[in-house]
Amino acid sequence: MVARQSVAIELRGRVALVTGGSRGIGAATAVRLAEAGASIVLTYQSHLTAARGVADEIARLDRDCLIVKANVASEKDVRRAVRSAKEHFGRVDILVNNAGIWKRGPLERMTGREWDETMAVNLTSAFLFCKEVVGLMKKRGGAIINIASTAGQRGEAFYSHYAASKGGMIAFTKSIAVELAPHNIRVNAVAPGWVDTDMTASVMKKRSTRREVESVIPRGVIAAPTDIADVVLFLASDLSRHIVGATVNVNGGSVLVD
């Protein structure tokens, strides 16, 4: 006979650090985790007003939120952000590596600087944050969720640097998942398809483009940031305790990867 247990997600007493948490998927994730009871640390780089808005929303949930300005590609800034989280809350239980950029880059015109920028923000930042929080998580376990992309699974023309960074994120996730599982630290990735965020707004503003994108999504709709945040919440919770090194596709069926 299977023992009964509550299926409600409860994160009270835990601290979640969300990178790039001022807008889009990051903001939605920070709020979702707070709704489940977690205290939040969110990083931002330039959108202070938006970050304060997220913090205010979390405060209305009666949860604590610390906002930290940080260049996620800077080892010094990352170290300072994690130190601030430790000083304020004493712990980090959940890390969501969400910060990222998506800039068009045709191969023949892309510069080395543009390639390096995308790799630094999208992939190196995840390495830096994971490296810094692992020492804290080893004391009591934890969960790391890396935001990848369908581009990292199938490639993306004119965004090869973005696709490469997200493909790297998936491989990085699998690698450290095996390394950290014995320490009760679960590492997984989420691979969104198209999502309605500020990042995609310039492309989606054309109605014809939006209809074209929706036509290749079996569900027929583009995801909202909360669609991604809900999956992150699940992976951050004890309900996913036996999921290790997985990449969860959240794309409405547009890309099916075994």
Residues carrying an active site annotation: 162
Closest Cα to residue 147, out of 14, 20, 10, 16? 20
Q: Please calculate the CA angle 164-123-171 and round it to the nearest 5 degrees.
A: 65
Closest Cα to residue 44, out of 67, 66, 64, 17? 67
Please name the residues in contact with 69: beta carbons below 8 A apart, sequence gap of 6 or more. Answer: 43, 44, 45, 48
Closest Cα to residue 20, out of 98, 78, 82, 94? 98
Q: How many angstroms separate the most distant Cα atoms in the chain?
A: 63
**Residue 227, both tokens:** 């669609």
Closest Cα to residue 12, out of 93, 131, 132, 114? 93
Distance, in Å, from the CA atom of 82 to the CA atom of 78, rounded to the nearest integer, reads 6
Task: Identify whether the C-beta of residue 234 lies closer than 8 Å to the C-beta of residue 9.
Answer: yes
